[in-house]
């Protein structure tokens, strides 16, 4: 399966919009996606004609303009690009942060977990596997401490409750009583 990718531009209402065109052999529909950095990608079937693609993009102009502006006015921390050296440094900082905060919060819970991994995740702050392995995004060290604590406790509580039931949120509230506020602040980031 060969995916062909090319960089293109389209002029809509006097503005140039660069986009990445991906032609995929087994795709049957058009797909439009915006990355965290505001870049636009259009995925189409291999033989899809350019004139129809342009028509499609023009019909989606309002959506494109609104969402590109939203991303640029409120950039996500996931849209930041870091060098390999920065990523390594942030991973070290995050590992130290996560281990110390897990140790602190687990005094109140006494939960067992297996492995702690710091990863370069594109859209998640953390996760917990059914094997009780905890994974955290290396960008955690860039967050305000109260939000990083919320994420760490959230994943720690998943070692006991692998869902978001009322019982799970009661566990989180045991050490983070204002978790709803922190969760809302995290969404803004």
164 and 96, same structural domain?
yes
State whether residue 15 is helix, strand or coil: strand
112 and 161, same structural domain?
yes
175 and 125, same structural domain?
yes
Return the C-alpha torsion angle 47, 67, 75, 186, nearest 10. Answer: -110
Q: pLDDT per position in the chain (189 positions), as tens?
A: 677 888 888 877 777 888 899 999 888 888 988 876 778 889 999 889 989 988 988 888 888 888 877 776 666 666 667 788 989 999 999 999 999 999 999 999 999 999 999 998 877 999 999 999 999 999 999 999 999 999 999 999 999 999 999 999 999 999 999 999 999 999 887
Residue with tokens 């087994």: 26
Domain count, the chain: 2
36 and 113, same structural domain?
no
112 and 93, same structural domain?
yes
Domain boundary pick from 57, 75, 93: 75
Residue with tokens 């991906």: 22
What single-letter DSSP state applies at residue 104?
H
Domain that holds residue 118: 84-188
pLDDT at residue 63 in the model: 86
Distances (CA, A) of 189 to 22, 35, 67, 150: 29, 15, 16, 14
114 and 58, same structural domain?
no
Residues whose CB falls within 8 Å of the CB of residue 34, separated by 6 or more in sequence, listed in order: 40, 41, 64, 67, 68, 71
183 and 111, same structural domain?
yes
pLDDT at residue 29 in the model: 87
Give the integer Cα–Cα distance in Å for 65 and 62.
5
96 and 61, same structural domain?
no
């Amino acid at each position: 399966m060969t995916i062909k990718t090319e960089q293109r531009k389209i002029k809509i209402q006097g503005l140039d919009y660069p986009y990445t065109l991906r032609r995929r052999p087994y795709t049957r529909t058009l797909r439009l996606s915006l990355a965290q950095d505001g870049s636009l990608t259009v995925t189409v079937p291999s033989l899809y004609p350019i004139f129809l693609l342009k028509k499609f993009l023009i019909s989606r102009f309002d959506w494109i303009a609104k969402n590109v502006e939203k991303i640029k006015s409120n950039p996500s921390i996931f849209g930041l690009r870091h060098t390999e050296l920065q990523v390594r440094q942030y991973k070290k900082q995050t590992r130290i942060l996560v281990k110390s905060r897990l140790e602190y919060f687990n005094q109140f819970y006494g939960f067992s977990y297996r492995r702690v991994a710091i990863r370069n995740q594109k859209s998640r702050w953390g996760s917990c596997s059914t094997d009780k392995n905890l994974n955290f995004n290396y960008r955690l060290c860039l967050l305000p401490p109260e939000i990083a604590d919320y994420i760490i406790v959230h994943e720690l509580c998943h070692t006991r409750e692998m869902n978001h039931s009322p019982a799970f949120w009661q566990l989180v509230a045991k050490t983070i009583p204002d978790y709803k506020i922190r969760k809302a602040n995290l969404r803004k980031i």
